Amino acid sequence: MSQPLRIIAEADQSVSTILSERVLIPVSCDHCKQDTDISLETLKTSSAIMCEHCYAVRPFGHTELQVIRSLLNRSGYRVNG
Ligand SMILES: [Zn+2]
């Protein structure tokens, strides 16, 4: 049994990096203009997010999530789910 095993490494390089759901996305606050890092996991499941600086709560919708996703896609990242 001496058949060479060929590992196709190039295949991986054409696939964009898949981001973990735990990656933190900076979301800017309308109130104090500072960024709060929120995990993708939270963004997907929440309809509102709270600023960690001034505790202002603002709605976070599906449209905004789509915007973040398309920005990530353009940077070569893919989000699962
Ligand atoms: Zn704020």
Measure 4 CA to ligand 1 centroid, in angstroms. 59
The CA-atom distances, in angstroms, between 75 and each of 28, 45, 63 are: 19, 23, 19
The domain locations on the chain are 10-79
Ligand 1 centroid–CA 60 distance in Å is: 14
CA distance 47 to 4: 53
Give the length of the chain. Answer: 81
Calculate how far, in angstroms, residue 56's C-alpha sits from the geometric centre of ligand 1. Answer: 5
Q: What is the pLDDT of residues 12-71, one digit of tens each?
A: 555 678 888 888 999 999 999 999 999 999 999 999 999 999 999 999 998 999 999 998
SS3 of residue 78 by DSSP: strand
**Kind of pairing between the strands at 17-19 and 77-79:** parallel
How many Å lie between the centroid of ligand 1 and the Cα of residue 59?
13
Surrounding ion ligand 1 within 5 Å at CB are 29, 31-32, 51, 53-54, 56
Question: Which pTM was predicted?
Answer: 0.70
For 1-20, the pLDDT digits (tens) are 555 555 444 445 556 788 88
**Residue 9: what are its φ and ψ, rounded to 5°?**
-80, -25
